[in-house]
Chain A
Amino acid sequence: GESVGLHLPTLSVQEGDNSIINCAYSNSASDYFIWYKQESGKGPQFIIDIRSNMDKRQGQRVTVLLNKTVKHLSLQIAATQPGDSAVYFCAENGNNNNDMRFGAGTRLTVKP
């Protein structure tokens, strides 16, 4: 079946560096994508979304890139800070049960 996945389960970066978290999706029918951040002991928090009619969307220190040709989604975090340490999930809406499908997550660790 089709699935949402992440290329790397863990990512460690130095404080101040830029972070890139990747996500592969295989459902070509998906037209809406979201990145969530989940800190330890908390629920997922919406970061940024993008629709399939866009290639790039920017927020505050975050940018999401969508490459529909290769079915790839990425989250870029500029000037990564210790508070960015968390698990990041991507989600797509190409599911049969009226719901988003979530990837397993990438754990981002920011080293001081």
Chain B
Amino acid sequence: NAGVTQTPKFQVLKTGQSMTLQCAQDMNHEYMSWYRQDPGMGLRLIHYSVGAGITDQGEVPNGYNVSRSTTEDFPLRLLSAAPSQTSVYFCASSWESGINYGYTFGSGTRLTVV
């Protein structure tokens, strides 16, 4: 099993550009989520999904879109990149909602918006 795979590992965007961060898991997990990690702060939830076709907002959803067309994939779209979105992004998955099970995290995407 590859676990949770995120691509790309690094990305530089100009303000206003859009892009998609990819996330795929091969563990047949129902729950998937996206976090951003900023210096000195804990992981903050952007969006999450409890199964294919179901998504919901987390703590910091503005400027991001998600979709979940398959169990395996959960891409995160930045609609119009802003410098405030410079961060490290992590995708995670779990058997259920995660509040009763631990998450498996990807290795992260380091995004810089200039």
Chain A interface (Cβ < 8 Å from any Cβ of B): 4, 32, 34, 41-46, 49, 89, 93, 95, 97-105
Q: How far is the CA of A98 from the CA of B56 in the complex (A)?
A: 10
Q: List 12 A-B contacts (CB under 8 A).
A: A32-B100, A44-B90, A44-B103, A46-B104, A49-B102, A93-B98, A93-B99, A97-B58, A97-B59, A98-B48, A104-B40, A104-B42
- The chain A residue with its CB closest to the CB of B58 is A97
- The yes or no answer to B43 lying at the interface (CB within 8 A) is yes
Per DSSP, chain B at the interface is loop
- Per-residue contact bits, chain B 35-67, to A (CB 8 Å; 1 contact, 0 not): 000001111010010100000111100000000
Q: A32-B99, A43-B106 are in contact. Are A97 and B45 (CB under 8 A)?
A: yes
Interface size class of B (residues with CB under 8 A): 20 to 34
Q: Please tell me if the beta carbons of B42 and A99 are within 8 angstroms of each other in the complex.
A: no
Q: Please tell me if the beta carbons of B42 and A101 are within 8 angstroms of each other in the complex.
A: yes
Residues of A close to B58: CB separation below 8 A: 97, 99
Q: A98-B48, A98-B50, A99-B58 are in contact. Are A46 and B43 (CB under 8 A)?
A: no
Q: Please tell me if the beta carbons of A103 and B108 are within 8 angstroms of each other in the complex.
A: no
- The yes or no answer to B97 lying at the interface (CB within 8 A) is yes
Q: How far is the CB of A51 from chain B (nearest CB, A)?
A: 8
Which 10 A-B residue pairs are closest in the complex by CB-CB distance?
A: A43-B105, A102-B42, A93-B99, A46-B102, A102-B43, A104-B42, A44-B105, A99-B45, A43-B107, A98-B97
Residues of B close to A32: CB separation below 8 A: 99-100
- The chain B residue with its CB closest to the CB of A94 is B99
Residues of A close to B45: CB separation below 8 A: 97, 99
Residues of A close to B105: CB separation below 8 A: 43-45
- The yes or no answer to B25 lying at the interface (CB within 8 A) is no
Q: Please tell me if the beta carbons of A104 and B41 are within 8 angstroms of each other in the complex.
A: yes
- The chain B residue with its CB closest to the CB of A90 is B42
